[in-house]
């Protein structure tokens, strides 16, 4: 007989299938070689052997039905896994676009920061120059005011000396007058004659002395007037300088405020970029996980398809084993199936067997019967050896979604 076919059947029964039917299928595996022995030698099977063959057929059919369901479930799982991969890849694309957008925003803001930094530096430089020029105006104005006060003090001193003097003692008025005349570059003759003329009482002065004193006081008066005019004209200049300084301060403050706002926007954009990169990493990891899950589902689908093909080959092999070309001397196994006695609690069905024609014929050895007996023994030995090899081999664990079928 075809031992390869028996190996297929035994392998299909012993591998996979639910655990609750494992004992029943193991019993079928053990009984199948004995049930096939008479079929191999084209002998009349026993009703119990026919029942074993029928149980094996049903077990294979149950396993194939469960295999079809498992194949459908695996295909459905693959479809769902593909959909999940597509969704994860779409999320990855969206996350990548968000990262690119955030990068562009950060780069744009940083480029604008360089521009604002330059403007801040220019404003600081302008303020520094404005403050220097303003300070110069203030210093000049203070100097003019000091000189004006000094000139006015000279006039007051001379007037006081002229009012209070009755004789010609020396006084300090001539000293401050000469100092002012020298500082303002008066004529040397006036500088030389003024102290002496001023030291003479007014009533005792000559015309030259009076002229000298008048010329000196007129010169001092002109100095006071000039300083007052300078101070008056410088007031507007000082106001303009102060306004310019305040304007420079305002510009600098505005540029610094804009720079600070930009820094806040850059920090926010960098935060968005960091979040986007985190989301992209998570999306990338999710894509990898979904692709791995899809790979697992594809493997499960391939195993389910392989298992289904194996069961189909086993069923075909089983039918070839139990339906060899039958001689006219015995009926096909299916013809005896209705007469097979029930197992474990089922009603008994009688089986009819032909009686020997006579006691003498039964006692005489039949060469054909002896040949069939020897062939049956040999066949029994062969199928038993095959079954032992198959059953002793380690059983491969079936995937979870392939644990289908029943006895």
- pLDDT tens track for 323-344: 754 444 444 444 444 333 433 3
What confidence score (pLDDT) does residue 328 get?
45
Taking the C-alpha atoms of residue 269 and residue 102, their distance in angstroms, rounded to an integer, is 7
- Say which residue, 200 or 116, is predicted with more confidence: 116
Q: List, for residues 10-50, the tens digit of each pLDDT value.
A: 888 887 666 656 788 888 888 888 887 776 655 677 888 88
Provide the CA 288 distance to its chain's centre, in angstroms.
13
Q: Compute the average pLDDT of residues 163-187.
A: 70
Q: Which of 97-111, 181-195, 382-396 is predicted with the least confidence, judged by mean pLDDT?
A: 382-396
Taking the C-alpha atoms of residue 259 and residue 110, their distance in angstroms, rounded to an integer, is 11
% of the chain with per-residue pLDDT over 90: 21
Q: Cα dist. 398→14, 27, 29, 188 in Å? A: 11, 19, 18, 130
Query: What would the two tokens of residue 274 be?
Result: 């960091």
What confidence score (pLDDT) does residue 261 get?
92
Helix axes 173-183, 188-199, angle to 10 degrees: 170
CB 174 within 8 A of CB 197: no
What confidence score (pLDDT) does residue 96 get?
95
Q: Compute the average pLDDT of residues 208-221.
A: 84
**Residue 293 predicted with pLDDT over 90:** yes
CB 210 within 8 A of CB 167: no
What confidence score (pLDDT) does residue 127 get?
84
Q: List, for residues 59-78, the tens digit of each pLDDT value.
A: 888 888 888 999 999 999 99
What confidence score (pLDDT) does residue 126 get?
87
- Say which residue, 180 or 350, is predicted with more confidence: 180
Q: Compute the average pLDDT of residues 358-382.
A: 50
pLDDT, the chain, mean: 76
CB 324 within 8 A of CB 42: yes
**Residue 280 predicted with pLDDT over 80:** yes
Binned at pLDDT 50, 70 and 90, residue 368 comes out as low
**Residue 349 predicted with pLDDT over 90:** no
% of the chain with per-residue pLDDT over 70: 74
- Say which residue, 184 or 2, is predicted with more confidence: 184
Q: Which of 133-137, 225-229, 332-336 is predicted with the least confidence, judged by mean pLDDT?
A: 332-336
């Amino acid at each position: 007989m075809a031992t390869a076919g028996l190996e297929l059947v035994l392998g299909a029964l012993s591998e996979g299938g639910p655990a609750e039917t494992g004992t029943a299928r193991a019993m079928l595996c053990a009984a199948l070689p004995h049930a096939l022995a008479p079929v191999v030698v084209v002998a009349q099977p026993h009703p119990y052997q026919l029942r074993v063959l029928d149980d094996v057929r049903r077990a294979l059919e149950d396993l194939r039905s469960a295999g079809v369901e498992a194949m459908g479930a695996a295909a459905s799982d693959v479809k769902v896994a593909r959909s999940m991969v597509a969704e994860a890849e779409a999320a990855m694309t969206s996350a990548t676009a968000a990262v690119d957008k955030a990068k562009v925003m950060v780069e744009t803001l940083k480029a604008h920061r360089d521009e604002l930094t330059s403007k801040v530096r220019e404003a600081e430089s302008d303020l520094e120059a404005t403050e220097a020029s303003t300070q110069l105006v203030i210093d000049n104005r203070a100097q003019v005011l000091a000189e004006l006060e000094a000139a006015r003090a000279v006039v007051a001193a001379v007037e006081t000396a002229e009012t209070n003097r009755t004789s010609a003692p020396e006084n300090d008025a001539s000293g401050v007058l000469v100092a002012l005349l020298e500082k303002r570059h008066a004529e040397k003759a006036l500088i030389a004659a003024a102290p002496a003329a001023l030291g003479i009482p007014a009533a005792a002065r000559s015309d030259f002395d009076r002229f000298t004193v008048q010329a000196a006081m007129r010169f001092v008066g002109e100095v006071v007037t000039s300083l007052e005019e300078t101070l008056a004209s410088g007031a507007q200049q000082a106001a303009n300088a102060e306004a310019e300084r305040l304007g420079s301060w305002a510009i600098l403050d505005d540029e610094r405020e804009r720079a600070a706002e930009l820094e806040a926007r850059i920090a926010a954009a960098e935060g968005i970029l960091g979040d986007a990169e985190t989301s992209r990493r998570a999306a990338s990891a999710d894509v990898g996980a979904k692709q791995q899950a899809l790979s697992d589902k594809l493997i499960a689908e391939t195993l389910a398809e392989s298992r289904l093909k194996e069961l189909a080959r086993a069923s075909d092999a089983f039918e070839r084993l139990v339906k060899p070309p039958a001689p006219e001397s015995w009926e096909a196994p299916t013809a005896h199936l209705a007469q097979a006695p029930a197992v474990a609690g089922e009603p008994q069905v009688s089986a009819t067997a032909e009686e020997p024609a006579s006691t003498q014929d039964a006692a005489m050895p039949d060469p054909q019967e002896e040949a069939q007996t020897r062939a049956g023994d040999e066949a029994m030995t062969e199928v038993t050896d095959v079954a032992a090899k198959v059953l002793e081999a380690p059983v491969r664990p079936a995937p979870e979604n392939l644990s289908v079928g029943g006895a």
